[in-house]
Every structure is written in C-alpha cells, then in structure tokens.
Amino acid sequence: MKITRIETFLVPPRWLFCRVETDEGVVGWGEPVVEGRAEVVRAAIDVLAEYLIGQDPLRIQDHWQVLTKGGFYRGGPVLSSAVAGLDQALWDIAGKAYGAPVHALLGGPVRDRVRVYAWVGGDEPAELTEQITAQVEAGFTAVKMNAAGATSPVPTAAETAAVVGRVAAAREALGPDRDVAVDFHGRFTAAGARRVLAELAPLHPLFVEEPVVPEQGHLLAGLVSASPVPLATGERLYGRAEFLPVLTAGIAVAQPDLSHAGGISEVHRIASLAETYGAQLAPHCPLGPIALAASLQVAFATPNFLIQEQSRGIHYNKDADLLSYVVDPEPFRFVDGHAPRGDAPGLGITVDEDAVRAADRTGHAWRNPVWRHADGSFAEW
C-alpha cells in the first residue's frame, strides 16, 4: 500500500482536517491544528506531504521519526501539530487495513467506557449554576470551568473572592459525588496561583489546570509542594521531552493534546512516561471529532487515564459543533458522562466527506482574543 494524496480542509468553527489517501482505496483522517494558527499548520502539512507521498502508510513509527527529526529543526506547536494530524490519519489507515480499532493495535482495551467532562461558563465564567445543572441532567459527572476572565496577575481580594465564589457555586450545584476541574489558563502569576489554590482547596477541585504559563514550568515544583489541589498541565507541551520536567516537578495530571503533541504515537508514549511518575492522563481536546476520536482510542488503551475533555457545546463552537462532520454520532453519544467503546476499525468514526469539502469552501479565520489589563498592557488570555 502506498500513500497517493494528502489534502487539508479548513473547516468552521476553527479546525483543520487532513485526509490521507492510498492506492488501495483506504483513507485515513487526522486533525492537525493549532487553534488560531490553522493556516500555518496547513502549510506545514504541505511540506511534510512531500516526503509521505509514495510511502507505505503502515510504517507509522518510522514516518514519525522522519517527520519530527528529519528536517533537522524540530518541535514546537506548528510542526508537532502537523505531525500529530498525519499520525492520526496513519493510525486510522492502519486500523482500517488490519480491520481493528486503534485501541486494539495499542495493546487492547483496558476499560469499557471513557469518562468525559463538559465545559461550563465560557471565557468569562457566568451563569454557572444553570449550565452545571443542565450538564448534570445530561448525565455528566464532571465539568470544567475557567477560574476567571481577564484578571490581575496577582488577583485582588475581590477577584480572589469571585473565583472562590464561582467554584463554590459549582460545588454546590454538583454535590460531593461529581467533580469540577478549574482552568487557570496561565492567567495568574505563580504568586497569584499560590494564593488562589490555597483558597480553592476546601472545595476539592478534581484538578487545577495550567496554574502558570508553560514557559514557567520551572515554578511548578514549588506550586505542587504548596498546593493540596492536584495540578494539571500539558496542552501547550509538544512531546515527551517537554513532559519530563513537569512530571518530575510532581504534576498529578498530564494533559497532552492528540492534535498538538505528536499524535497517537507520542501521546501513547507520554502516557507511559506519566505512569512512571504516578501521574494520570487527561488529554486536552477542545477540538473536533477526529481529535476526540483519536483521544478516545488512546484512553481505551491507557491504564493511567483519568478523564477526557470534549468540545460538544463548548463556547468556541459557533457555526459548527462536534457532530457536524461525522456520519454517525454514536461514538460521541455520551451515556452517564461516558463515551462508549466501539469496535469500528481505525479511529472508529466515519467522516462526512461531503460536509467537510463544503465547509472548506467557507473556511474560517478564527483567532483568539487579545486581552489587555486596565492599564493597557498585554494580559494572558
């Protein structure tokens, strides 16, 4: 079997899909994207495709080595995300060629269903109780929320009280048997994070995510020792080498993104690395159906898996949502807050190719907002 064609599709709300075709008619899909930089990843795919055309798609690990290291310069979000999407597509082809779901090729399932959480509150969290109640009624056992919108790097007493008040409202709506995870989104300094973490501890969050921006990973060890709340990070880390220091620092939850951190191949390895540190895996995935399908395949085959993010109804999904580009919604039909394990080959989904091609004609130009502090200086979003 040989790879004959690689295409990309820029589809709303903010995604990029790739389609890898072979001379035997087997087709694989991937989702190579950096949110807000989709066109740049598309250009990277075109360059990487020069190597892949004519190659045997089943030599996934060898291609991964060449695509990540063969250009001499390596790493970073753009290249790692381009490789990630292509890697997903190659695993999809392998599963279809062997007639097996990807999780079977990764060693077989270690669980029957995968716990997922729902987003509540948006960028500027508000009206939480109503949204949480709706998610609980839909069967979810866990939600995630932003701690704050634009905020002072070291939050004032009022800002801190507002964060704690929102998480307390969430805890009240969820009761003691469900979970709330809180995303700091790197919006606080380490000092600010330390202050807020202490006050959130009594509310028992499942974890607090990105307590500081990724370039301050060297401060995580101090935060871990200061915080009884489990800390999570990883959506802006792109491979094993970048997870090693944060795992050594003692994070409890590793959050690689299947579309950023080198795909199924690399996230499977990051999961094993995390296991040696007693850390659990909770892949980042505010993305589309292919990224989620890839995430679920890894979750079914990962012993130290905790919970999966998914984007259905997320605040980013205007114009299109998780189910807009799949023929059959069944893999994403969450029951009691869990995704079912299917046995369909490859990634386990059927992409609606007509819908994808039509959406690509519209495209998108999604960018994240640029926030400013009250004095006009740049603020982390």
Question: Which residues inside 113-152 make contact with Mg ion, applying CB under 5 A?
Answer: none
- What is the torsional sign of CA 77, 361, 323, 126? positive
Q: Which range touches Mg ion (CB under 5 A), out of 18-26, 50-58, 178-186, 300-308?
A: 178-186
Q: How far is the CB of 182 from Mg ion (least distance, A)?
A: 10
Pairing between strand 378-379 and 208-209?
unpaired
Indicate the DSSP class of residue 206.
S
Instruction: Tell me the β-bridge partners of 145.
Output: 182
The helix (H) or strand (E) run that includes residue 221 is helix 220-226
Among candidates 29, 42, 43, which has minimal Cα distance to 90? 29
**Interface of this chain with Mg ion, residues 199 to 228, rule: CB under 5 A:** 209
| Least distance (Å) between residue 284 CB and Mg ion | 6
User: Is the Cβ of residue 159 or residue 309 nearer to Mg ion in the bound state?
Assistant: 309
By annotation, the residues acting in catalysis are 185, 284
User: Shortest approach of Mg ion to residue 317 CB, angstroms?
Assistant: 16
Q: How far is the CB of 51 from Mg ion (least distance, A)?
A: 32
Please, which residue, 192 or 345, has the CB nearer to Mg ion? 192
Interface with Mg ion includes 309 (CB under 5 A)? no
CB 235 → Mg ion: shortest distance, Å? 5
Count Cβ atoms below 10 Å from residue 228 Cβ, excluding itself.
10
> What tokens appear for 355 in the block?
């819908």
50 forms bridges with which residues in the sheet?
none
Using DSSP's 3-state secondary structure scheme, residue 349 falls into coil
Nearest to 87 by CA among 72, 99, 105, 73: 105
Q: How far apart are CA 35 and CA 259, in angstroms?
A: 10
Nearest residue relative to Mg ion (C-beta): 183
Does the protein bind Mg ion through residue 35 (CB under 5 A)? no
Interface stretch with Mg ion, choices 10-18, 58-66, 180-188, 260-268 (CB under 5 A): 180-188
User: Any contact of residue 183 with Mg ion (CB under 5 A)?
Assistant: yes
CA–CA separation, 326 vs 319, rounded Å?
A: 15
Closest separation between CB of residue 380 and Mg ion, Å?
Answer: 12
Count the residues of the shown chain that bind Mg ion, applying the rule CB under 5 A. Answer: 2
Nearer to Mg ion, 35 or 209 (CB): 209
Helices (H) and strands (E) in the chain, counts: 12, 14
Closest CB to Mg ion among 85 and 186?
Answer: 186
**Alpha-carbon span 33 to 313, nearest angstrom:** 19
- Among the listed ranges 43-51, 116-124, 175-183, 218-226, the one in contact with Mg ion (CB under 5 A) is 175-183
Cis-peptide into 13, omega within 30 deg: yes
Name 199's Cβ contacts closer than 8 Å, sequence gap at least 6: 160, 163, 164
Among residues 183 and 266, whose Cβ is nearest to Mg ion? Answer: 183
In the complex, the smallest distance separating the C-beta of residue 155 from Mg ion, rounded to whole angstroms, is 18
What are residue 281's DSSP bridge partners? 254, 305
Beta-carbon neighbour count of residue 73 at 10 Å? 7
Encoded amino acid at 237, one letter: L
Q: Which is nearer to Mg ion, 179 or 183 (CB)?
A: 183
- Report the interface residues with Mg ion, using CB under 5 A: 183, 209
